[in-house]
Amino acid sequence: MTKAAAAEARSSLRGIVETVFYSGATFSAGRLRTAEGALVNFAGKVFVKPSDPVRLEGQWTHHPKY
């Protein structure tokens, strides 16, 4: 994938952290609520706590287990 194609595949999302499922030294996972009311799970190099406002950037994926 070229850099241009990768940049096009990225998107951003804003919301308030509702829940943090896991938080470690290099990785966190949780759920946020967007202004529209949608609940979205997130994971990655994100270090937040519940009620933090966030703007996340990345790619949408569907994990086969989660």
- The mean per-residue pLDDT over the stretch 3-30 comes to 85
Residue 63 within a domain? no
Return phi, psi of residue 5, to 5°: -65, -40
Please answer whether residues 59 and 11 qualify as being in contact, where contact means their C-beta atoms are separated by less than 8 angstroms: yes
Q: What's the whole-model pTM score?
A: 0.76
Residue 9 within a domain? no
Residue 56 within a domain? no
How many Cβ atoms are within 10 Å of 30's Cβ, its own excluded?
21
Residue 8 within a domain? no
Residue 32 within a domain? yes
Residue 16: what pLDDT? 98
Answer whether residue 22 shows pLDDT above 60.
Answer: yes
Residue 30 within a domain? yes
How many Å apart are CA 39 and CA 10, to the nearest integer? 19
Q: State which residues form the domain around 26.
A: 21-49
Residue 34 within a domain? yes
Q: Which two tokens stand for residue 3?
A: 């850099």
